């Protein structure tokens, strides 16, 4: 002989305050609730569980029926992880990715109605920060655009001047203090070397094949001379 609980649609349940300990089953949403004598609609049985001991298979939904973990598509709905300043994901411990092929963590900026191809438009950022008794300290930002990636020290602002940034371009050029490097290494500002600096050692034939610009300095191994490019011509420096 079957034991049947009080039952009805979810809308009908929401309109009733059930007695303390009374069970009710919703025939449309297939959920079980228990009354407390005060709460309209009762309390979800799942809401009374504080811990889960065991394996979970399938998808996970929040108490508002919003999808959190999609077991069918192997994804997490990050729109449910938000802060005042925008979307963020905070990790309290190390994140480990285990795969049989190359491990990948993908941060995807899906903006179908926006054009993200403008120069140096950040497609996403990784922010390193600490929170302790002194408050929250933002230490560094890694940002990615269509042209390359930027690395910068930060005081909490994303809109830092270019002079604060390192830039690695997809064109193979590296900029210090500039997002538009024109050579393999482009330093905007002063530079200091604590060791030696070796200038390019080229033969006269190799020198003449360069696209020379005023201010270039080389060591000519054919002539055994330091040479500089000045006013459109190569001259001996010593």
Global pTM value: 0.52
What does the alpha-carbon distance between residue 66 and residue 189 come to, in Å, rounded to a whole number? Answer: 51
* Mean pLDDT across 159-183: 84
- Is residue 7, in this structure, part of any structural domain at all? yes
Give the sheet arrangement for strand 43-44, strand by strand. 6-8, 23-26, 32-34, 43-44
3-state DSSP assignment of residue 124: strand
What does the alpha-carbon distance between residue 23 and residue 43 come to, in Å, rounded to a whole number? Answer: 9
Query: CATH no. for residue 36?
Result: 2.10.10.30
- Is residue 98, in this structure, part of any structural domain at all? no
Distance of CA 29 to the CA centre of its chain: 37
- Is residue 119, in this structure, part of any structural domain at all? no
Q: Are residues 131 and 182 both part of a single domain?
A: yes
- Where is pLDDT greater, at 83 or 191? 191
pLDDT digits (tens, 9 = 90+) for 118-155: 777 777 778 787 778 888 777 788 888 888 888 887 76
Q: Are residues 168 and 206 both part of a single domain?
A: no
Q: What region does 8 belong to: left with phi over 0, alpha with psi -120 to 50, or beta?
A: left
* Residue 11 DSSP class: H
Q: Which residues of 151-168 are buried (b: 16+ CB within 10 A; e: fewer)?
A: ebebeeeeebeeeebbbe
pLDDT confidence of residue 1 = 61
- Is residue 131, in this structure, part of any structural domain at all? yes
Could you list the residue range(s) of the whole structural domain that residue 231 is in?
201-236
> How many domains are contained in the chain?
3
pLDDT digits (tens, 9 = 90+) for 58-81: 776 666 666 767 667 666 665 555
- Is residue 83, in this structure, part of any structural domain at all? no
């Amino acid at each position: 002989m079957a034991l049947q609980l009080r039952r009805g649609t979810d809308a009908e349940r929401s309109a009733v305050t059930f007695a303390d300990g009374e069970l009710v089953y919703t025939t449309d949403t297939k959920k079980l609730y228990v009354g407390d004598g005060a709460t309209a609609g009762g309390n979800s049985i799942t809401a009374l569980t504080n811990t889960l001991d065991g394996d979970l298979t399938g998808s996970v939904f929040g108490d508002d029926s919003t999808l959190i973990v999609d077991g069918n598509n192997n994804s997490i709905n990050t729109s449910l992880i938000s802060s005042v300043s925008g979307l963020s994901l905070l990790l309290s411990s190390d994140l480990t990715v285990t795969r049989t092929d190359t491990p990948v963590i993908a941060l995807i900026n899906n903006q179908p109605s926006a054009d993200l191809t403008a120069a140096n438009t950040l497609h996403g950022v990784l922010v390193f920060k600490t929170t302790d008794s002194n408050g929250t300290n933002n230490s560094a930002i890694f940002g990615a655009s269509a042209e390359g990636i930027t690395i910068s020290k930060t005081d909490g602002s994303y809109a830092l001047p270019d002079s604060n940034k390192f830039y690695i371009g997809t064109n193979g050029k590296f900029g210090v203090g500039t997002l538009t490097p024109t050579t393999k290494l482009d330093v905007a500002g002063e530079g200091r070397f604590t060791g030696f600096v070796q200038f390019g050692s080229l033969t006269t034939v190799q020198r003449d094949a360069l696209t020379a610009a005023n201010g270039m300095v080389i060591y000519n191994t054919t002539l055994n001379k330091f040479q500089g490019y000045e006013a459109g011509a190569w001259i001996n420096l010593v």
